[in-house]
Amino acid sequence: MVALVFLFLMMLVLKNPSFLPFANTDQSTSIALGFILIFAFLFGKQVERLGLPQITGFILAGILCGPYVLKFLDTEQVADLQLIDGLALSLIALTAGGEMKISRLKGRLKTISSLVVFQTVFMLGGFVIFGLIGRKIFPFFSGDSLVQSLALALLLGTIATATSPATTIAIITETKSKGKHTDLVLSVAVVKDFLVIILFAFFLSLSSLFFFPDQGFDAGFLLEIMRDLGGSMFLGIVVGGGIILYLKYIKQEMTIFILGIAFFTYQISHNIGFHPLLICLVAGFLVENFSPHGDRLIQAIEKSSLPVFVIFFAISGASLNLEALRSSWMLALVCVFLRGLLKFAGTYTGATLVREETVVRKNSWTGFISQAGVSLGLAVLVERAFPGLEGKFFPLVVAVIAINQIIGPVMLQKYLIKTGEAGTKNLNS
């Protein structure tokens, strides 16, 4: 605590305007990154004492130091850190892919598909009904026509279906969880990510029919997103194959190689619109399941996973637009509550149908609350596709993500503790 206060005071002094004439303000990203790394980590440790996950602390520290509260990091610095954030995401996705072992998932395929299908169906159905009812209450849904309101609700429902694999893997790593419930939560989150992107592409094209009826069904979006998805998976296979060959024949400079992969996927996704998360998930999955050296890759990444998590989640926190939360907090709260309810209903139904045990039926929905990058990216696409929604759709999604990203990790941690799988990884291995 003393160190936390000391650092905080030091940053206050450094950011004091009276020092500005001596400061080279163009060179402030490193100091911001160093500060956020230590501060978020120490903050996470304090939060852990309250029984909450460290990553909630990292995110809160990011929010606190970010451009909307203490302004230790301004929006420009947060933007400057996006590349480093992107590299961290790729590393996290590689780990997530590597944690999904076919041998462990084989017996759970029925449960996984049932949970994915029912969560999705309930979420879409629930949001459509909400859109119909909410049309009278919330101006957000009051489009020019009923079908437009429905289209909005459908897109919102699709985005709400997603769960953040990055947050999931971070909590799994932090709590050292291992076991069938852990595998279930992670694999449902990953599979849903694929499904959400495909569904989103379809609904976006469909919505364009409602918003621009003169143009007819615009398959352009669908094709574009399918191309990105297919391309990402293909590239994931290529990258995974490359990693396998590297691990087999070269072996040297593993860290540089992994960072090179992270940078390469970031560059590719940045330039041609592929999804770095999917590329690395597929690559990690492939290496773990089709190469005897998979564990070496995961070990190499996990060795430095803590700083990667701290940086990633603290920057995520700093990137959260609190203005958006302020402007649409009421509807956001309703959406968060509704999403939670639908997650429970979908998970309960799905798990009951495949006769899963009680803890899965009643509690596993809490593992699917967190939301992050993919949802945010999809919301950007909606605003881009329908300029009329500018400043309306995106802030709402950001506000919902902000709330879910704070409560999601806490709920997942509680679930893993409840299943008894938290803290078992070292014991098992």
CB closer to another protein, 268 vs 379: 268
Q: Say how far apart CA 197 and CA 190 lie, in whole Å.
A: 11
Q: Which one, of 75, 79, 155, lies nearest residue 392 by Cα?
A: 155
Q: Are 274 and 268 in contact (CB under 8 A)?
A: yes
CB closer to another protein, 110 vs 251: 251
Q: How many CB atoms lie within 10 A of CB 26?
A: 7
CB closer to another protein, 258 vs 402: 258
Interface residues with another protein (CB under 8 A) are 2-3, 6-7, 14, 19, 21-25, 27-35, 37-38, 41, 80-84, 242, 246, 249-253, 255-257, 259-261, 264, 267-268, 271, 303-307, 310
CB closer to another protein, 58 vs 365: 58
Cα separations in angstroms, 327 against 59, 63, 331, 332, 390: 21, 17, 9, 10, 14
Q: How near is the Cβ of 58 to another protein at its closest, in Å?
A: 11
**Looking at residue 150, what DSSP letter applies?**
H
CB closer to another protein, 51 vs 260: 260
Q: Say how far apart CA 356 and CA 198 lie, in whole Å.
A: 27
CB closer to another protein, 95 vs 404: 95
Q: Which one, of 32, 37, 23, lies nearest residue 74 by Cα?
A: 32
Q: How near is the Cβ of 250 to another protein at its closest, in Å?
A: 5
CB closer to another protein, 185 vs 308: 308
Q: Say how far apart CA 346 and CA 368 lie, in whole Å.
A: 11
Q: How near is the Cβ of 416 to another protein at its closest, in Å?
A: 19
Q: How near is the Cβ of 189 to another protein at its closest, in Å?
A: 24
Q: What is the dihedral of CA 112, 337, 324, 119, to 10 degrees?
A: 20
Angle in degrees, CA 341, 344, 350, rounded to 5: 140
CB closer to another protein, 260 vs 273: 260
Q: Are 90 and 266 in contact (CB under 8 A)?
A: yes
Q: Which one, of 223, 169, 168, lies nearest residue 201 by Cα?
A: 223
Q: How near is the Cβ of 21 to another protein at its closest, in Å?
A: 6
Angle between helices 180-211 and 146-161 (to 10 degrees): 160
Cα separations in angstroms, 58 against 65, 98, 264, 305: 11, 24, 27, 14
Q: How near is the Cβ of 3 to another protein at its closest, in Å?
A: 6
Q: Say how far apart CA 228 and CA 109 lie, in whole Å.
A: 26
Amino acid identity, residue 308? Answer: V
CB closer to another protein, 85 vs 288: 85
Q: How near is the Cβ of 378 to another protein at its closest, in Å?
A: 24
Q: How near is the Cβ of 314 to another protein at its closest, in Å?
A: 11
User: From the centroid of its chain, how far is CA 4?
Assistant: 28
Q: How near is the Cβ of 8 to another protein at its closest, in Å?
A: 12
Residues 6+ apart with CB under 8 A from 259: 87
Q: How near is the Cβ of 171 to another protein at its closest, in Å?
A: 16
Q: What is the dihedral of CA 321, 196, 309, 325, to 10 degrees?
A: 20
CB closer to another protein, 199 vs 318: 318
